Structure 1
Amino acid sequence: MSTIINVKTINRLNGFSLKPLDLSIRFLGHVSLQDIPEHIPIQVSIRLGDEWIDQLCPIVEALPADNMSESADDVSPELFPFLPLPSQFDPYNGLEWQSLAKEIEHWLLQDPALDMTHPGCYILMWELFWMAFVAVFPSFPYGQWPDWDPRIPMDGYFISDWVADLDEPEPTPVPAIVHESVWEQLKAAVDELLSMRITM
């Protein structure tokens, strides 16, 4: 069986990437056997259009359905006290982003067990931290920027893509363009995962 799925794009500094796709596969029917195998291997393949093959590389990870629902259940708006953002938040102002990055860092580190008690919340919060950090320091990892708390891993979709996009230190990113790109990604992440709209 095969099907075509449209995957949403994400605007990047030098083009676009694709949003991660959570895919669920159900199996209808049953097999009558006394000796039930522990698992049955299946083959899942992803095929991109020919024009994208050299530029995009899909990575398939198997996540049991139980894990996905637990992770989704654990991402609750109440766990993000810095949201919603104030109505006067200006996404083109670096100082606003700096204040947001510090606030996210505070909440991210306040509970040392957050990654264990609410892993979905922890992952989303550190994604949001890196978005705000990059908006403050658009040339990151080049140029000058302060050390962040080492308890926050430099990991996740956003920062991995950001660093990959900036393999070359030139040209220097234009802050306004970076702010706009990060703002759109932050709004999309919060809207999708927390069902919370952030608008100017």
Structure 2
Amino acid sequence: MTPCTVQTSTFYPPIRTRDMQDVSLQPLCIGVCFSGALPRHLIRSVIPIQISVSIAEEYRSFTMPVLEALSVDGYPHSGCSLSFDDVSNVLSDSGNALSCDNIDIPIPFLPLPHNFNPTDSYHWSQLSEQIQLWLVTIPEDSQYWTWGRDAFWLAFIGACPDFPNGRWPKWDARIPLEGQFIEHWLEGGAVGGLDQSREDLLAQIWSDFCTHAMLFHPEPLVLIDVA
């Protein structure tokens, strides 16, 4: 895709320090709005949006940006052009706000227990059950629900990597087979290719889950065993 309109902005995420051994960049939640009205005949179209994130060359050996996308449902219509400050205010005030620092809905299944083993499908099964129990209790119009739905399907596939083949447990009918990950999976697009071993597949699921979880849980994902 060749973009016809390009907007470039530079952001400076703060550095997060827990101790001298755990130093990282704070995740950024960036809102993107689109001004103007589309012709009605495009109502069922899929319009691609290309977003690129780069980091200065001297820092690339230490960190790489990872993108996650969530649509903001119910975004108010406006006939005027919108600035970045406008977007920030809407995201801050909206009930669907994406906030990495001020989480309004508790996420009881995170952090994971210190003995969580991402190579063990039984652990993934326990996690998927916990996510399911939480997911059906929160508002479906919140971004937490969209995020939780995708987290559920990652954990579900970790528990049942042969899905939709083989044996797999029933899940709550209120959780649809929707979302980029599960839809791609059902189309036959396994995360690492058809020749991937079960061990490598679960390792990739774990990597994807960590990336996805960080969007709403920027703290360490697994509890530290202090025993």
Q: Structure 2: state its 5+ residue gaps.
A: 10-28, 39-46, 52-70, 77-86
Q: 1:139 to 1:73 in 2, by over 3 A?
A: same
1:178 maps to 201
1:99 maps to 126
Q: Structure 1: state its 5+ residue gaps.
A: 6-20, 27-38, 49-60
- RMSD across aligned C-alpha pairs, in angstroms? 3.8
2:140 maps to 115
The letter of the residue matching 1:156 is G
Instruction: Give the one of 32, 54, 76 matched to 1:24.
Output: 32
Distance between the aligned counterparts of 1:183 and 1:123, measured in 2? 19
Shift of 1:45: 7.5
2:6 maps to 2
Shift of 1:47: 6.7
**TM-score (structure 1 length as normaliser):** 0.61
- Tell me whether 86-95 or 64-73 shows the greater mean CA deviation: 64-73
Q: 1:180 to 1:3 in 2, by over 3 A?
A: same
Q: Percent identity?
A: 23
Distance between the aligned counterparts of 1:87 and 1:77, measured in 2? 25
Question: Over residues 36-55 of structure 1, what are the superposed CA-to-partner deviations in whole Å (9 max), with x where a residue is unaligned?
Answer: xxx7458x97579xxxxxxx
Which has a greater percent of helix?
1
**TM-score (structure 2 length as normaliser):** 0.55
- Tell me whether 157-166 or 135-144 shows the greater mean CA deviation: 157-166
Distance between the aligned counterparts of 1:77 and 1:91, measured in 2? 28
1:12 maps to none
2:180 maps to 157
Shift of 1:90: 0.7
Shift of 1:162: 1.8
1:13 maps to none
Quick check: 1:98–1:132 contact (8 Å CA) kept in 2?
yes
Shift of 1:164: 2.6
1:10 maps to none
User: How many matched pairs?
Assistant: 155
Distance between the aligned counterparts of 2:202 and 2:119, measured in 1? 6
Secondary structure of 2:215 counterpart: helix
Quick check: 2:131–2:152 contact (8 Å CA) kept in 1?
yes
Shift of 1:142: 2.1
Secondary structure of 1:85 counterpart: coil
Shift of 1:189: 1.3
Shift of 1:144: 2.1
Distance between the aligned counterparts of 2:150 and 2:50, measured in 1? 28
Q: Which has the higher contact order (CA 8 A, sep 6+)?
A: 1
Shift of 1:160: 1.5
1:89 maps to 2:116: yes
